[in-house]
Structures are given as structure tokens and as C-alpha cells.
Amino acid sequence: MKIQHLIYGIILSSFASVAIAAPTIEYIECLGSDQQHHFVLVAPVQNEQTIKLMYFPYLKPISLHYIKTENIEMAEDRPYEQHLFFNERNSQRNTGQYEIILQGARIYAVIYTAKQSGAITTYQNYLADEQKQKVNQTLIARKLQCI
């Protein structure tokens, strides 16, 4: 009987280790723009000074370097609205600036300003459920999912 319990324990612990080792999905905000056909995927990583940002369908991480954070009080007893500013770097040169606006854990907008032309692109439209499902089919292979 003790040996049988021992065998069951070993089997159960092996299943538990497989479940623990399963890859985790990283949830990201997916925001579209009225001005562009592509959209951004953005998520804070560990702290406010590190942001993961990619464009869909390219999925190549953008090199960002933190500049500053501005906190704006919205209403009493509400979380501050944070504006995070990052320089975009390409081949060791600044090529633009991103402003990422969030409140609490929710990202509301990404504003990109191209350095050379001064053109501004605002990404603030959440994807419709149908579009989100289609995008998630591509993202799941990279362990990413739009929320």
C-alpha cells in the first residue's frame, strides 16, 4: 500500500512539474490608429522605465531609451495618469520619440513623433474582438496575446 501511494505521489508530482513548466502567455495592449493600417503592441516590463513595443505584423521590438515620466492628477482618490517618454533609437541615432499614456495598469495611448519630419501618429483605438482574435492567432506562436 505504501509503495502504491509512493508511485501515485511520483506520478502526480511529475504532472505538477509539467504544468508549472508550461510556457506563460504575455498579455499586451494592442492599439490601432486612424492614420495607419498597422498597429502597436505595447506592454510595461517590470517597471515604468522599460517598455516592450512592437508593430504588427512585423513583430520586431523597437529600441527604446527612457527619458522621463510625467504624472498628471486626474481626480481625487484616482490613480495618476502617467506619461512615459522614450527616444526611439535606430543604429545609435534618435529617430523619433514615443509618449505612452497609462493609468494604473491600462495603457490608453501611444503617440509617436518622427524626428525628421515631425509627423505625429496616435495609436489609441482598442481592437474590435474579431480583429483581436485574428491577431492573436499570429501572436500565440510568440506567446503573446492582445487583451
The residues, any chain, with a CB within 8 Å of residue 9's CB and separated by 6 or more, are none
Residue-level pLDDT at 136: 94
Nearest alpha carbon to residue 36 among 113, 112, 93, 121: 121
Determine the CATH number of domain 24-146: 2.40.160
pLDDT-derived band at 15, boundaries 50, 70, 90: very low
pLDDT of 49 above 70: yes
pLDDT of 82 above 80: yes
Q: Looking at residue 60, what DSSP letter applies?
A: P
CB 43 within 8 A of CB 26: yes
pLDDT-derived band at 93, boundaries 50, 70, 90: very high
pLDDT of 8 above 50: no
Which H or E run includes 4?
helix 2-21
Question: pTM for the complete prediction?
Answer: 0.77
Q: Which three cell numbers stand for residue 111?
A: 503617440
The mean-pLDDT minimum among 36-50, 83-97, 130-144 falls in: 36-50
pLDDT-derived band at 99, boundaries 50, 70, 90: very high
* Helix then strand then coil, % of the chain, to nearest 5: 25, 50, 30
Residue-level pLDDT at 79: 78
Across the range 33-37, mean pLDDT stands at 82
Which H or E run includes 134?
helix 129-139
